[in-house]
Amino acid sequence: MSKSKSHERRTRVLVVEDEESFIEALTIGLDREGFDATIARDGQEALAMFEEGRFDVILLDLMLPKLSGLDVCRSVRAASDVPIIIVSAKGEEVDMVLMLEVGADDYVTKPYRLRELVARIRAVLRRRESPAAYEESDVLAFGSLRMELDARRCFVNDVEVKLRKKEFALLRLLLENPGRVLTRDVLIDRVWGSDYVGDTKTLDVHIKRLRSLIEEDPKKPELISTVRGVGYRFEVTKPSA
């Protein structure tokens, strides 16, 4: 293992957290993973630090002294599109849909594994670097998956899979937002239109069929994951074995 190359700028993470035990573990863990962590211990401090420094990603605890994570998220988002990952405690009453609406990119629940957190951080950063997983003229691709947008064709390992119109639109939307949780409302709205009044099961049926076509094992989906109670996410980080 070589030390990180000195010319490579370390990724700066603003960690907004008020629990000392987490702060310590995070600072050490993130440093080991090649991140520079700056700590803010309450909501006001978080906003002050955000205004002073330049950060690549913000890790934002929800329950904070002075200003809630929700308020911090809203304020930061009004000024910047820096990726924000919400951290909530298990059992906390959290409206994930609201979180995403005020501009959070993703979230993790405490207690989490550092590996999971780092994967989430890398995923939001990768998304910011290239908004589409891989874009070349009218092609959208990730891993074994390739979509030819104009021709409306989809390939898995170079073998064409026939998608219906809505399935194509749904997969495209997911692939255009790699690593991002898309709420059921957003998906239905964007694929079926805001005046759609049908059964929301329709979305699940479409997802199920997409999985049967693009997933290696549709019963254990690795590309389109379900975010319970919220929506779906196209995974850019394969769970490591």
Q: Rule CB under 5 A: which residues touch Ca ion?
A: 18, 61, 63
Nearer to Ca ion, 15 or 224 (CB): 15
Nearer to Ca ion, 67 or 154 (CB): 67
CB of 19 to Ca ion, least distance (A): 6
By CB atoms closer than 10 A (0-12, 13-18, 19+), residue 143 is middle
CB of 46 to Ca ion, least distance (A): 12
| Antiparallel, parallel or unpaired: β 139-142 and 135-136 | antiparallel
Nearer to Ca ion, 67 or 123 (CB): 67
Query: 34, 99, 98: which is closest to 61 by C-alpha?
Result: 99
Nearer to Ca ion, 20 or 136 (CB): 20
DSSP-derived 3-state class of residue 152: coil
What span, in angstroms and rounded, lies between the C-alpha atoms of 139 and 146? 7
| Antiparallel, parallel or unpaired: β 139-142 and 145-148 | antiparallel
CB of 115 to Ca ion, least distance (A): 22
Nearer to Ca ion, 18 or 36 (CB): 18
Evaluate whether 40 touches 14 at the Cβ level (below 8 Å).
yes
CB of 211 to Ca ion, least distance (A): 36
CB of 63 to Ca ion, least distance (A): 4
> 220 CB contacts (<8 Å, ≥6 apart)?
none
What span, in angstroms and rounded, lies between the C-alpha atoms of 134 and 76? 28
Nearer to Ca ion, 23 or 63 (CB): 63
78: phi then psi, degrees, rounded to nearest 5: -65, -25
CB of 17 to Ca ion, least distance (A): 7
CB of 16 to Ca ion, least distance (A): 9
Which residue's beta carbon is nearest to the bound Ca ion? 63
Evaluate whether 121 touches 173 at the Cβ level (below 8 Å).
no
Query: Helices marked H in 136-225 — which ranges?
Result: 165-176, 184-192, 201-214
Nearer to Ca ion, 41 or 206 (CB): 41
